[in-house]
Structure formats: C-alpha cells, structure tokens
Amino acid sequence: ILDLRKRQVRNALLLLFLSQGTPLLMAGDEFGNSQNGNNNAYCQDNDISWLNWRQTKTGQKLLEFVKYVIAFRKAHPVFRMARAPRLMDYLSCGHPDVSFHGLNTWYPEFEDFRRQIGVMYCGAYGKKADGSEKITAGDMVTVFFAAETLARFMGEPEPARTAYDEAYEKLTGITILYEDEHILLADKPAGILSQKADKTDLSLNEWLIGHLLHSKAITQEDLKTFKPSVCNRLDRNTSGIVLCARSLAGAQMLGELLHDRTLHKYYQLYVKGAVTESRLIEGYLQKDEKRNKVSIAAAGAPDSYIKTKYKPLRIERDKTLLEVELLTGRSHQIRAHLAGIGHPLLGDYKYGDREWNDGYRKRYQVRAQLLHAFKVVFPALPSPFEAISGRTFYAKIPEIFEQVSEHGQAQAQGKNKTDERSRYGNLEFPRAARFHTGRSDQQDK
C-alpha cells in the first residue's frame, strides 16, 4: 500500500510539472510532508501546519525525484510555451502544438471510466532559436527579454531606491567572514539591528539583500521566490557573528543546527567582580513584555529553560574577561543570567550596576554592554556544505575591549610589550575576508 501511495505521489508531481502554466507546489510536498489527513491545516498553529524540514532526510528519494522533474521541465521549453496551446498546427510543421490520444493515436477517450490519456507536445512550438534558423514571410518569432531589459527598451523610469539599497550604503563597518552560495557569516558591529523592529528601520537583514543585489548574486526577480535572511539575532548593541542564509538549502541547514543546538556559539564579555572558576549555570527565564526585560527563576515552563556555560580568561582589578558558550538561545539570556549570579556585564544599564557603568562611560565612553559573539563551531555536515563542515570561524574582538582592559592600558603605555595573541587572551583571529564600508567602490581589493 505504501509503495502504491508513493507511486501515485510521483504521478501527481509529474502531471503538475509537465503541464502548461506555472506549477504551484505547497512547501513540503516535495519530500512527502503529511498533514495527517487534515484539510484545514491553514488555520492551525500546531504540528499539523508546521513544516518539519528534517523530513527532507526521510523523504530524500522523493525530493531527488522532484529535483529531476524540475530540471527536465527547465530543459524543455515546450512545457512552458510563450502562448496558450491552440490544439492547432499553426506553424505548419506537421503536428499541432498539443494533441490528445487514447488507445489509438489521434482518438482521445475522455469517458470517466477510462484510466489512461495520452498527451503529445510538439517540440517545435517550444524550441528557442539557436541562430541557424531561416525565417520566411508568415513565420512567428518570439523574443524573450529580462524584465529589467524590457523596461529599459520601453523607456520606463529607473526603479525606485529600495530599503536594501539604503541599508547597503548606510550601514557601515560590517565584515564578511565567510560567504558561499548557501550561507554568509557577517561580523556585525554594535549599534546595528539584526532584524528590523519597525517598518522604517534598516537592519543587517536589509543590508544582506542589498549586498547580494549589488554583487549581482541575486536579482529583484529572485526575491519573489526566496529572500535571503538573518538566521540568528543579536541585540542591537551586541557585536559579532551573525548567521545568514543565501539559499533555501542554507536556511534549512542553519535552522536545523540552531534547533538541534549542534552549532556552538561563543561570546567574550567583561563582568563585574572576580570570577575564579568555570561553571555551568541553569535557570528559567521570565519576560516582562511591557518593560522588555527578563528575570531568572529557579522553576518555570519547560520552554523557558536556559543553560549558560562560562570560563574566566583574565581577572582584572574590578572585572573579569569571560568566555561564554550559549547552550540555549533566549532573549537577553547572557546578560540576565550573569547579572542574576552577581556578575553583571560591563556597560549593561538594563541589568547591570549603573554606578560602575557610569565610571567606564565617563572614562572610556562605554555606552552599552560589551558583549561580542566571537566564535562559531560547525559540526560535521553532508554535501553541499563540505566547505564549512567541522570548521571554526572567528570575529575579531572590538578595540573597546582592549581600551577598557588593564592589560591593554599597560600595552599602550609601553609597560608590557605583548604580541597579537596576548591581546586577545591567547586566542587567534584570522583576518576577515573582506571589510565592507557600505559602498562597493570602496571594498578592499
């Protein structure tokens, strides 16, 4: 029964993709996603309507079949004729554009008890010119233009500037640490939103699309089918590595890693007081929506559970440089969790010590939390992600960290000559691939 069902699914998909017009496929059908027989899934927000992308593994054979059929349709223009079929031989080539057949050719059988129908597409009606053709009076010639090219030929005005253009030009200081056809790793400076909070905001999300448009990696037309996007969010004033998806496959992969917590994320930050040993701390996060502030409780709902791991890198007079691994990802988790055990972040006015922060603000202009996502570690990954499988990526520590450290002050005053490694607590940070000023003509060559 299951084999027959799978065959019928393939039959339905084949009919869809070999029909004229635009095939419409519901997300998940390509790998056999089931809604358990429920035909009203659109109005439900639960397991019935959610899409589990991990089914791409169990439905791998069907997914490969769909890829093959899409490629087959793309390779044969006759399945997407420029005009609606007329069931006529209007090219005088010996066959109509589309014809129907039964057990005998040219004799279709449309009775409701019939179990077969034959459809023949004549390739002459979908063939594109290769330059060797000779035309005569009465021939019909179809010319295909990109939407942008046709608009220029018709004298239409240049398209209006978009938020993507504006974000790409105005949001400066963003570094691309890694980029391929599926993902992009960006080093976001403090002060830039990961995603817009208001419709008029400019964020890293808009910058990402602006970058891809300006580099010709995508077109405006591509955005109608898939929009590249940020996959994890850092607070506006938190700097460091942000994971971005350039393709649907990249979005699925990053989403699965974040959901399964198999991608490891590490932060560096300063906290008040002396932290002398490594610890794993746990708790439950409770959020006050009106104040946009969270607190830590000893018990709570399962989905509010948080877990944070930290180790001290260097202890200074009134503070400690920590490395934190975020084992769960909740809003303000690191800031609230460390403040809850008596070690608030330097510069954090929402959860921290105002008087202590004011001293650093006056002396070093520290106006927000010093929190930097400096490292991500990818697990082993299958094709097509071999290039990042098992790799570790670093983002350079912002200069403000050195300015506020006693170690950095001693170095600046010539009291202690140190090398580049000690500047970052015996950690190495490879040079970023490219530094973006926001204007493509000023990118490093």
pLDDT digits (tens, 9 = 90+) for 112-130: 888 888 899 888 887 666 6
Helical H segments across 84-243, by residue range: 147-153, 163-170, 204-214
pLDDT-derived band at 419 (thresholds 50, 70, 90) equals very low
Give me the chain's average pLDDT, please: 85
By C-alpha distance, which of 261, 234, 254 is closest to 395? 234
pLDDT of residue 243: 97
Helical H segments across 215-261, by residue range: 248-260
Cα torsion angle, 172, 226, 47, 53, sign: negative
Q: Percentage of the chain with pLDDT > 90?
A: 51
pLDDT of residue 151: 74
pLDDT at residue 438 above 50? no
Contact 213, 164 (CB under 8 A): yes
Does the predicted TM-score (pTM) go above 0.75? no
Among 172-176, 324-328, 341-345, 418-422, whose mean pLDDT is lowest?
A: 418-422
Contact 235, 351 (CB under 8 A): no
Phi, psi (deg, nearest 5) at residue 118: -110, 135
pLDDT tens digits, 78-122 = 888 877 888 888 777 788 889 989 888 888 888 888 888 889 988
Helical H segments across 128-219, by residue range: 147-153, 163-170, 204-214
Q: Which helix (H) or strand (E) holds 225?
A: none
- Residue 396 has which token pair? 């350079």
pLDDT tens digits, 302-314 = 888 999 999 999 9
Cα 351 → chain centroid = 30
Cα 11 → chain centroid = 33
